[in-house]
Structure 1
Amino acid sequence: MIALKSLARFREVEVTDCKLNIYGTELDSRLLIGSALYPSPQIMRDSIQASNSQVVTLSLSRQNPQANGGSDFWQMIQSLGLHLLPNTAGCHSSQEAINMAQMSRELFQTDWIKLELVGDDYNLQPDPIELVKTTEALLKDGFKVLPYCTDDLVIARHLVELGCKVIMPWGSPIGTGKGLLNPYALQAIRDRFPEVTLIVDSGIGKPSHALQAMEMGVDAILLNTAVAKSHNPVMMAQAFAQSIQAGRLAYQAGLMTEQHQANPSTPTLDQPFWHQVNY
């Protein structure tokens, strides 16, 4: 009976949970997945499907469907029927990123753009000054900008004040797999802007990293390397999908508050009589 009640409660939470909202588009999955670094196009396809993601990121710098560049890759991406999220990976200047965004909008037929602007090649940290300036220009040009930024609360505030409905702070530098280096900073952004869709992007190396972020109230996770470079990308995609779902459910259920002092889970007051039997 207890198990049935728990299952019913799980289904109730699952049904009543609001969906992931990206500029008015509602999605069931809270995992966004990349399309780079896979051992083969077929493994990429199988991994994306295993993740249950509804959004796949791709870069114009890697593929150019208009010039038949990587046509097999492009056709496979199209066949998945997912929302496309082009990015400006590799751009170092505002104008370079704007040009790539405009070309991506024309080729991929979407006004979504994941804005990436490299500020330093040592750790690929986003350039906060150029990022804010470029975000403003792209928003005015009709783009729905998903800016990739550091976990700086002030930068996040500037982006939100410009009109961003989604912001994408890093967990740690891209490709490091170090997880959440500064949970406090991410939690501060979450608490300060509860109305904004918050997607942790880059640095997620393990399903437990994604779980930790989701337990904090983050809305979604975007990742690529941790799946694509694993020994079994398809299985790893499934692992991340399940960890993200578990983290979201735990956040909704309400995590217990940490205590400084131990407290017994079974109270001594009003014990059932069988606890008092002496053998």
Structure 2
Amino acid sequence: MTPLLTSPVSDTDAGLDVTQDDVLTIAGRRFQSRLMTGTGKYPNLEIMQQSVAVSGCEIVTVAVRRVQTKAPGHEGLAEALDWSKIWMLPNTAGCQTAEDAIRVARLGREMAKLLGQEDNNFIKLEVIPDSKYLLPDPIGTLEAAEQLVKEGFAVLPYINADPLLAKRLEEVGCATVMPLGSPIGSGQGIRNSANIQIIIEEAKVPVVVDAGIGTPSEAAQAMEMGADAVLINSAIALAHHPVAMAQAMGMATVAGRLAYLSGRMPVKAYASASSPLTGLVHS
């Protein structure tokens, strides 16, 4: 496997200095990788382990409720990854109300402590009462976020691409906002780009595009828009070759971030020759 791009990039003439100091910071914790991955839907634990490793990710989300109940595919999950190297992001998947999400978040914090991450207060907040489209409940999410912030959690809320809700969650103290690109597990790509762009422009906390990304080009698109990170699970786990796709997603995230920092060329209405027209040889 070809390793991900990790070496510093410097272009002093262009005023660009992109090095490993360009880190993702969430609630005061620094991460080199801007790709977050999940642990569900993989054919088996071994493929999940390999996929996480080659992706280069440092944050892995874990469904608290499914680990607790040893749901199919989640047996032994707590022991499957090296939690001294991977930061656990417990999530409240399966919760339909704010009250349920708050309770599961507390269990998630205890789970992280049991696995050696004593200072881990991160929680990916999901409140999803709709079983058909799996769209998050904005009111329940806000209610749960307010309470969890009061309890000292670093809340990473999963939301519709609603700029006003994103701003309100930031104001109550959330560590990030996580707008969906399209419905969970749909692979439809980024269908809400205009609203996500507004969220990115207005947010003073990291913006993580979560859900709907199906291909590396879509991961790169999110990063080129200025997203701080992407969270990808189904597109990796359900690929014909998950390990290879995990590496591709990691590389796309790096490429998209570098492209964003580089600054794209202006869009022009007409063609512009790549070669200069001076000094031509005339017959």
2:281 corresponds in structure 1 to: 276
Match 1:94 to one of 75, 91, 98: 98
Q: Compared with structure 1, are the counterparts of its residues 228 and 71 closer, same or farther at alpha carbon in structure 2 (3 Å cutoff)?
A: closer
2:170 corresponds in structure 1 to: 160
Decide whether the 8 Å contact of 1:65 with 1:107 is kept in 2: no
2:218 corresponds in structure 1 to: 209
1:182 corresponds in structure 2 to: 192
Q: Are 2:153 and 1:149 equivalent residues in the alignment?
A: no
C-alpha distance in structure 1 between counterparts of 2:125 and 2:193, whole Å: 23
2:78 corresponds in structure 1 to: 74
Q: Which has the larger radius of gyration?
A: 1
RMSD: 2.1
C-alpha distance in structure 2 between counterparts of 1:71 and 1:238, whole Å: 25
Code of the aligned partner of 2:266: T
Higher helix share: 1
Q: Compared with structure 1, are the counterparts of its residues 71 and 90 closer, same or farther at alpha carbon in structure 2 (3 Å cutoff)?
A: closer
User: How far is the alpha carbon of 1:261 from its aligned partner?
Assistant: 2.3
C-alpha distance in structure 1 between counterparts of 2:105 and 2:92, whole Å: 7
Report % sequence identity: 40
User: How far is the alpha carbon of 1:90 from its aligned partner?
Assistant: 1.0
2:25 corresponds in structure 1 to: 21
Q: Are 2:117 and 1:108 equivalent residues in the alignment?
A: no
Decide whether the 8 Å contact of 2:9 with 2:17 is kept in 1: no
C-alpha distance in structure 2 between counterparts of 1:216 and 1:8, whole Å: 21
String of CA shifts for 1:162-201, please: whole Å, max 9, x gaps. Answer: 11131111110100011110211111111112x3101100
C-alpha distance in structure 2 between counterparts of 1:112 and 1:227, whole Å: 23
Match 2:209 to one of 175, 200, 217: 200
String of CA shifts for 1:182-230, please: whole Å, max 9, x gaps. Answer: 211111111112x310110000100000000100111101010000111
Code of the aligned partner of 1:197: P
String of CA shifts for 1:92-148, please: whole Å, max 9, x gaps. Answer: 111110110011111222311000011422211100011111100110011110000
Q: Compared with structure 1, are the counterparts of its residues 103 and 7 closer, same or farther at alpha carbon in structure 2 (3 Å cutoff)?
A: closer
Decide whether the 8 Å contact of 2:145 with 2:155 is kept in 1: yes
3-state SS in 1 of match to 2:269 = coil
Q: Which runs of 5+ in 2 are unaligned?
A: 1-7, 114-119
C-alpha distance in structure 1 between counterparts of 2:97 and 2:83, whole Å: 33
C-alpha distance in structure 2 between counterparts of 1:103 and 1:74, whole Å: 14
C-alpha distance in structure 1 between counterparts of 2:224 and 2:260, whole Å: 5
Q: Which runs of 5+ in 1 are unaligned?
A: 1-5
Match 1:84 to one of 55, 73, 88: 88
Match 1:172 to one of 159, 179, 182: 182
String of CA shifts for 1:12-63, please: whole Å, max 9, x gaps. Answer: 7342652001111000001001011111111110000000111111012211
Q: Compared with structure 1, are the counterparts of its residues 255 and 132 closer, same or farther at alpha carbon in structure 2 (3 Å cutoff)?
A: same
- The worse-fitting range, judged by mean Cα deviation, of 69-78 and 122-131 is 69-78
String of CA shifts for 1:60-107, please: whole Å, max 9, x gaps. Answer: 2211299xx956322112467310000000111111101100111112
Code of the aligned partner of 1:36: G
C-alpha distance in structure 2 between counterparts of 1:122 and 1:71, whole Å: 26
2:149 corresponds in structure 1 to: 139
Structure 2 counterparts to residues 238-253 of structure 1, below 5 A: 238-253=247-262
Q: Compared with structure 1, are the counterparts of its residues 262 and 129 closer, same or farther at alpha carbon in structure 2 (3 Å cutoff)?
A: same
Q: Are 2:240 and 1:235 equivalent residues in the alignment?
A: no
- The worse-fitting range, judged by mean Cα deviation, of 233-242 and 56-65 is 56-65
Decide whether the 8 Å contact of 1:65 with 1:74 is kept in 2: no
C-alpha distance in structure 2 between counterparts of 1:70 and 1:253, whole Å: 40
- The worse-fitting range, judged by mean Cα deviation, of 75-84 and 214-223 is 75-84
Structure 2 counterparts to residues 111-122 of structure 1, below 5 A: 111-122=121-132
User: How far is the alpha carbon of 1:8 from its aligned partner?
Assistant: 5.2
